[in-house]
Structure 1
Amino acid sequence: MEKQNSIFRWVVFASVLFTYLLMSSQRTAPGLITDQLMNDFHVSAATIGLLASMQFFVYTGLQIPMGLLADRFGPNFFLIIGAILTGLGTIMYSLSTHEFVLLLARIITGLGDATIWVNMVLILSQWFKPKEFTHLIGVTAMTGSLGFLLATVPFSILIDLLGWRAAFLSTGTLLCLCGILLFVVLIKKPKQLFIDERTDLEPKIEREKTSVLLRRICMNRQAWSLFLCHFGIVGTYVGFIGSWAVPYGMSMYGMTRIDASQLILIGLIGALIGAPLASWISSRLEMIKRPYIVVHIIIVLSWSSIFLSKGHPPLSLLPLLFFIIGLAYGANALTFAAVRQTFPVMEAGIASGFANTGGFLSAVLLPSLFGKVLDFFQLSGSLTEGYHYGFIIPVIFSLLGLVGVLTMKEKQQLPKVIAVSKR
């Protein structure tokens, strides 16, 4: 295919990844202003938890439908619309005057965010040869974590300089401009350069009905084991840093917003290291289950140590705990390595979506449940106890993940794995 040899494919790659970087940053950026939202809108911690959960809820529910739509109609249109929807949702968030508008803004942002991964992978598969694609998809996956990094200290500084409304307004505007850029790069320019080629992905094979595949997956013990693996490792990290990590540092340790966001930064550095490290160890040992069990035990011990120290471990230990939790989160790539190893090719996509649903379901539940615990104890005037007992939620979630990995099956011989985490 001619466009897979063109220099223009790198323009496509850069444009798509820059858009993904900005879109992924808006998953956790609202967690930086939790205290300001509670003061400005006079809302409870449970309401803030609901706001933090809503984007993940929408994202989770649309993964399989988005894959079907992209496969049928092509990925370009949906990625463009997704960038614009994320931008409009972010702009609406910055202009909100009522908590209902905040909720609606997060729903719109979630609709846009749900388009990014599936469509981005399909677009890159059009523009790059298989060998190039294998290398670049790893870079693409890491861009999501870099987006989380962008939503820590850099975005905190922007909030302190401009105020939270102006910071979100400028980001939303930039995302809308990215949508226009993608239209030019993905549709308009390719029509001029490649007149005889389609710019969208054409379905090449007939697939089994989704309802049949879903029924079979839902009856599969391995699928549920991987669902629980992802439930215990993803939501405990993404759900917490996207909602309560910054107010936790500010409330329990008297940190400034920038200092508290540095804790998230440390965790995200761990996540960036965790994915390739877990893949390398798994490949060297030629197994998935045993190293993944170790990862889940570590994550259970980390959350348990925070809970057992009454939510207030020594300040010198806190950065290490965040780093270890982030490192374990990066190892969630092993979930998809296990999917590829134990499911047929025709079922691997839906099995991956099923497992990924578990991860983001926990990311939906944790902020809201944590907020309800804080509200309960805040009524008695003890926010410290609220954080203490709130940490029992990630402990329980991570224990469920440990159950999942213990019941997971794997083949005796593991081919060399290039593990890529979906975000």
Structure 2
Amino acid sequence: MRIVVHDMASTVGATVNVGIRRLGRGRRPRNPVRYDVRVNETKNATRLGGPKAYAMWGMGLLGYLFAVVCRSSMSAAGIEAANHFHTTSTALSGFLYLQLFVYALMQVPAGVLLDRFGARALIASGGLLMAAGQSMMAVAPVAWMAVAGRGVVGLGDALVFISVVRLISAWFPARQAPLLTQLTSVTGGLGQIISLYPFAWLLRLTGWRAAFLVSAGTGVLVAAAILLSVRDDPRQSSRHHERPEGGLAAAVRGFGTALRSPGTICGFFVHFSTWFPINMMNQLWGLPFLLAVEGWSRETATAYLGMGVVINMVFGPVMGRLAGVHPIHGRAAVVYASVGAQIALWTVLFLTPGPHPMWFMVLLLVAMTSGGPASNIAMDYVRDTNRPEVLGAATGFANTGGFLSSTVIFLGFGVLLDAQGATDPSLYTDHAMRVAALIQYPLWAVGLVGFTLMLRPTLRLIRARRG
């Protein structure tokens, strides 16, 4: 006979074989009674990938959505900012250059802080910092104060995405992580739609100050919601983060460990080479470029850029699934295909006069948009080649890549415009915009060379870890 006793308050399991002597016979029974005492502590445990995991991820997504709204608000307000502050093209680039430079500069410290303090604290802090930056934008009387506000936005933005990636790693099985990372990026991309339509509408309706103050107030509410609901790890019994041993010094040493992993460097170059073209178009220069080169109306150009978000929603899950099922060759194929298509189509655009056929512009948008999901493959390389305790630092460093290349694009684009005499939006011409956009090619070259050199040792390490 087998008796199973379940104790839902513990996880220790024990089996006790008890031989019961028959009364008066002095020998063991043929079939001894077997008592199976199972101590199963699942009452307080949370299943990875369960409903609570999706709730944690959903709250992290809310924080990331707000971050993308703040990050891309200049895509709707760029021309208004030039007129509001009476700035040159280089000064207009400064709004995003400083924001993305601060973001890139903060990725490594943010990763170290993430390993030390956890995702909940960093997402909430990021929301509050972005709210402060949007408030500075709202009340700034001169351009340099508004640029400083964008820097504060970049500081807060830097804390959010890698923290959401850490939540995914903590709450979901490894096989689901690539897909959920892509879905995070896709859902966060809705922030671009919010900037292009609701925020732009609010900006025209209420004016500069009111629109940015509403954005700031939203950030405070998001930060409060994160603090009240998110737990960093399913093993924690409360929202309090259990800090790792060794303190901040150990976290800093962990960054050195992460840099020695080839997957960390490989991820950096993936992010560096794939993401900056669509970022250039979405964040600042897309609208002026389409108006000057293609001769489109503002409404058509806005709808075109908004369509990229929809395309991204298709690409993200497909690439996430491919990266999860084919981690060795599938990921590299996605990176090379995305960058190759972007280079080919931009080259055709530069060599042919505008306006171009709509079918061609849609192909260009598809190629550029593929760079967003392709950039997230960087996180897959990082996750598969680093220990969990240094994952924050490694992810932060890899995530620096695309923002570093984007800072070069934003500043370089504006400098090249000014060098041609196109110092304000009324002077943006077809020729000036084409020359400025050529700055993409050296960045592609650097990114592809770095990725190719680091790919082989990265794949070797992934194979070794997978056995």
The range that moved more, 153-162 or 97-106, is 153-162
- SS where residue 331 of structure 1 aligns? helix
Which of 363, 366, 374 aligns to 2:406? It is 363
So what's the TM-score if we normalise by structure 1?
0.82
**Greater relative CO, 1 or 2 (CA 8 Å, sep 6+):** 1
Provide the rounded CA distance (Å) in 2 between the counterparts of 1:352 and 1:122: 9
- The letter for the 1-side match of 2:363 is L
Deviation at 1:176, TM superposition (A): 1.7
So what's the TM-score if we normalise by structure 2?
0.75
Aligned counterpart, 2:438: 392
1:124-181: CA deviations, max 9, x gaps? 667x464898475554333222222322234333333333443322222211222233
Give the conservation status (yes or no) of the 8 Å contact 1:286–1:413.
Answer: no
Provide the rounded CA distance (Å) in 2 between the counterparts of 1:202 and 1:237: 38
Unaligned runs of 5+ in 1: 416-423
Kindly indicate whether residue 93 of structure 2 is the aligned counterpart of residue 49 of structure 1.
yes
Residues 1:169 and 1:397: Cα distance change in structure 2 (over 3 Å): same
Residues 1:405 and 1:163: Cα distance change in structure 2 (over 3 Å): same
Aligned counterpart, 2:366: 323
Residues 1:363 and 1:181: Cα distance change in structure 2 (over 3 Å): same
Question: What RMSD in Å do the two structures reach over aligned CA positions?
Answer: 3.6
Provide the rounded CA distance (Å) in 2 between the counterparts of 1:9 and 1:277: 22
Provide the rounded CA distance (Å) in 1 between the counterparts of 2:461 and 2:411: 41
Unaligned runs of 5+ in 2: 1-42
Provide the rounded CA distance (Å) in 2 between the counterparts of 1:239 and 1:181: 32
Provide the rounded CA distance (Å) in 1 between the counterparts of 2:373 and 2:222: 28
Residues 1:279 and 1:75: Cα distance change in structure 2 (over 3 Å): closer
Provide the rounded CA distance (Å) in 1 between the counterparts of 2:167 and 2:268: 27
Aligned counterpart, 2:188: 144
Give the conservation status (yes or no) of the 8 Å contact 2:185–2:316.
Answer: no
Deviation at 1:331, TM superposition (A): 1.7
Provide the rounded CA distance (Å) in 1 between the counterparts of 2:390 and 2:78: 40
Identity percentage over the alignment?
23
Deviation at 1:89, TM superposition (A): 1.3
Aligned counterpart, 2:112: 68
Equivalent positions of 1:31-50 (< 5 A) are: 31-50=75-94
Equivalent positions of 1:164-179 (< 5 A) are: 164-179=208-223
Residues 1:21 and 1:296: Cα distance change in structure 2 (over 3 Å): same
Give the conservation status (yes or no) of the 8 Å contact 1:312–1:388.
Answer: no
Which of 104, 111, 117 aligns to 2:161? It is 117
Equivalent positions of 1:185-204 (< 5 A) are: 185-186=229-230, 197-204=237-244
Residues 1:78 and 1:293: Cα distance change in structure 2 (over 3 Å): closer
- The letter for the 2-side match of 1:146 is L
Residues 1:72 and 1:146: Cα distance change in structure 2 (over 3 Å): same
Larger radius of gyration between Structure 1 and Structure 2: 2
Aligned counterpart, 1:269: 310
The range that moved more, 214-223 or 76-85, is 214-223
Provide the rounded CA distance (Å) in 2 between the counterparts of 1:275 and 1:173: 30
Equivalent positions of 1:204-219 (< 5 A) are: 204=244, 209=250, 214=255
Provide the rounded CA distance (Å) in 2 between the counterparts of 1:265 and 1:102: 26
Provide the rounded CA distance (Å) in 2 between the counterparts of 1:13 and 1:292: 26
- The letter for the 2-side match of 1:149 is I
Aligned counterpart, 1:2: 44
Residues 1:75 and 1:213: Cα distance change in structure 2 (over 3 Å): closer
1:200-238: CA deviations, max 9, x gaps? 331356699556555566577665454333212112221
Provide the rounded CA distance (Å) in 2 between the counterparts of 1:412 and 1:74: 31
- The letter for the 2-side match of 1:152 is L
- The letter for the 2-side match of 1:309 is T
Aligned counterpart, 1:419: none
Residues 1:36 and 1:251: Cα distance change in structure 2 (over 3 Å): farther
- The letter for the 2-side match of 1:53 is Y
Which of 455, 459, 467 aligns to 1:411? It is 459
Give the conservation status (yes or no) of the 8 Å contact 1:298–1:328.
Answer: no
Aligned counterpart, 2:203: 159
Deviation at 1:291, TM superposition (A): 3.9
- The letter for the 1-side match of 2:268 is F
Aligned counterpart, 1:306: 349
Provide the rounded CA distance (Å) in 2 between the counterparts of 1:411 and 1:13: 29
Greater per-residue helix proportion? 1
Greater per-residue strand proportion? 2
Give the conservation status (yes or no) of the 8 Å contact 1:306–1:391.
Answer: no
Provide the rounded CA distance (Å) in 1 between the counterparts of 2:51 and 2:320: 31
Provide the rounded CA distance (Å) in 2 between the counterparts of 1:368 and 1:334: 26
1:334-359: CA deviations, max 9, x gaps? 33333344556666554433322111
The range that moved more, 359-368 or 311-320, is 311-320
Give the conservation status (yes or no) of the 8 Å contact 1:59–1:111.
Answer: yes
Deviation at 1:99, TM superposition (A): 0.5
- The letter for the 2-side match of 1:259 is T
- The letter for the 1-side match of 2:436 is G
Give the conservation status (yes or no) of the 8 Å contact 1:59–1:110.
Answer: yes
Deviation at 1:281, TM superposition (A): 4.1
Deviation at 1:45, TM superposition (A): 0.6
Provide the rounded CA distance (Å) in 2 between the counterparts of 1:116 and 1:250: 33
Deviation at 1:90, TM superposition (A): 1.1
1:29-68: CA deviations, max 9, x gaps? 2122222211221111111111112222112222222232
Kindly indicate whether residue 128 of structure 2 is the aligned counterpart of residue 84 of structure 1.
yes
